[in-house]
Amino acid sequence: MALLEADVNYGVVKDFVSRVRERAVGYEVSKALNPGQQVVKIVHEELIATLGEPERLNLSGQRPRTIMLVGLQGSGKTTAAGKLARLLRSQGERVMLVACDPYRPAAVKQLETLGEKINVPVEFKPGVSPPELASHALEKARKGGFTLTILDTAGRSQLDRELMSELTAIQKRVEPVETLLVVDAMIGQESVNIARGFREDIPLTGLILSKMDGDARGGAAISIRTVTGVPIKYLGTGEGLDALEVFEPSRLAGRILGMGDILGLIEKAESAYDEKTAREQADKIFAGEFSLQDFADQLRQLRKMGPLGQILEMLPGGMGQMARQVSPQDAERQLKFTEAIINSMTTVERRRPDILNASRRRRIARGSGTEVQDVNRLMKQFRDAQKLFKMMKKSGMRGLPRLFG
């Protein structure tokens, strides 16, 4: 359901689920994970394998080399050309942008504006056909000592023979080392037909998935990758010229599944917790014997997982949204106060917090560098937690899954 909601092609989802089922049946369960978590881990790993290993640009061969961007009108090719030029220029390349789209109104002006912002020259000659312009720009780049030309080609509202003929002619004239298809991530399953249509006529070497900053979860990525086999190389994550990310399958997998970085969270839990301790603490919670000493032990285990801000970012679904309403700095500060207060208590006080009278609370506040109100607040939170645990025990945990929706 997560894949279908991310607008992944139905056939791709069906094959994917079959592979996960085959792998999961009989799989040995990790000591730190329950079977449900183990399935999540398998799904995540299989999704990463489906998305494929990240492939970097091929910038080998005689200079200047050419990168050709293709795609339908409105896919974000011109903006992607500017972003890519900025990125490669920062890596030491001498870049020239080439405006091979004389048809769309203001396309050339848009590219020239982007070029001015990043201090990259833009080549254009009115009345010259795109294949001739690409060839002319390559020769000019060679004489000018440039190492790279990036071609912003024309698009159409839909695939047609005229467009493909022009793109094929450009390829024959300049022989690009990379031909990257720019696809709008918002179009979902239609992206498969677009990618397949381009690949039938043009030897694509990679994908740039644009507009990943919108509501799309990236289902187009797994659909195109599976159906065409073309590797994803970059993700456009915003309007800014610096908003171009090198593709990392693990991050996109988490986004497609709507899970945050759940695998990273599981891995941290595996390293910080052992099954025996976790089961003992769970038994105490539901037996109504959970004490401040147990709470202190849990805080120490949480500390082993890393900075609290990173853990909050990894939480999935509704829990992640709730957690991110609190800044990582405030959460970390509150955690330190809580630790300080509990550490200022005696062993007996941690195990029997009901004996904490006014004088004991004043002593604990002085010892922890906090106020009596902070101690009172912690005790109220602890009592509320105990009530919640008792309610969960009586209801058989019904309603708890809603927290993860």
Give the pLDDT band (50/70/90) at residue 236. Answer: confident
pLDDT (average), residues 245-260? 72
Please check whether residues 268 and 253 belong to one and the same domain: no
Please check whether residues 130 and 269 belong to one and the same domain: no
Structural domain boundaries enclosing 223 = 65-257
Give the pLDDT band (50/70/90) at residue 153. Answer: very high
Number of domains composing the chain: 2
Is 102 contained in some domain? yes
Give the pLDDT band (50/70/90) at residue 62. Answer: confident
Please check whether residues 253 and 275 belong to one and the same domain: no
Of 257, 290, 322, which residue constitutes the final position of a domain? 257
Q: What is the pLDDT of residue 171?
A: 93
Give the separation between CA 207 and CA 57, rounded to whole angstroms.
11
Query: Count of CB atoms within 10 A of residue 279's CB?
Result: 10
Is 193 contained in some domain? yes
157 membership: H or E segment, kind and range = none
The type of residue at 259 is M
Please check whether residues 225 and 271 belong to one and the same domain: no
Please check whether residues 142 and 233 belong to one and the same domain: yes
Q: Which of 263, 343, 294 is nearest to 41 (CA)?
A: 263
Is 92 contained in some domain? yes
Please check whether residues 205 and 230 belong to one and the same domain: yes
Please check whether residues 197 and 279 belong to one and the same domain: no
Give the separation between CA 66 and CA 232, rounded to whole angstroms.
18
Residue 180, pLDDT > 80, answer yes
Is 323 contained in some domain? yes
Q: Which of 244, 103, 236, 80 is nearest to 167 (CA)?
A: 103
Q: Which of 224, 168, 219, 171 is nearest to 196 (CA)?
A: 224
**E-only strand ranges, 43-154:** 65-70, 95-100, 122-123, 148-153
Is 345 contained in some domain? yes
pLDDT (average), residues 164-192? 87
pLDDT (average), residues 360-383? 90
Is 16 contained in some domain? no
Structural contact between residues 186 and 223, judged by C-beta atoms closer than 8 angstroms: no
Tens-place pLDDT, residues 94-147: 999 999 998 887 889 999 999 999 999 999 999 899 999 999 999 999 999 999
pLDDT (average), residues 268-279? 60
Residue 399, pLDDT > 50, answer no
Is 8 contained in some domain? no
Please check whether residues 80 and 193 belong to one and the same domain: yes
Q: What is the pLDDT of residue 83?
A: 94
Residue 400, pLDDT > 80, answer no
Name the more confident of 387 and 287.
387
Q: How long, in residues, is the chain? A: 405
Please check whether residues 215 and 74 belong to one and the same domain: yes
Q: Which of 24, 19, 32 is nearest to 267 (CA)?
A: 32
Q: What is the pLDDT of residue 403?
A: 37
- Give the CATH number for residue 211: 3.40.50.300
Of 209, 237, 257, which residue constitutes the final position of a domain? 257
Structural contact between residues 207 and 195, judged by C-beta atoms closer than 8 angstroms: yes
- Give the CATH number for residue 313: 1.10.260.30
Residue 311, pLDDT > 70, answer no
Q: What is the pLDDT of residue 319?
A: 43
Q: Please state, for a pLDDT cut of 70, what percent of the chain lies above it.
A: 75
Of 257, 280, 309, which residue constitutes the final position of a domain? 257
Give the pLDDT band (50/70/90) at residue 320. Answer: very low
Environment class of 106 (CB within 10 Å of its CB; exposed 0-12, middle 13-18, buried 19+)? exposed
pLDDT (average), residues 169-190? 87
Pair type for strands 244-246 and 232-236:
antiparallel
Is 342 contained in some domain? yes
Average pLDDT, the chain: 79
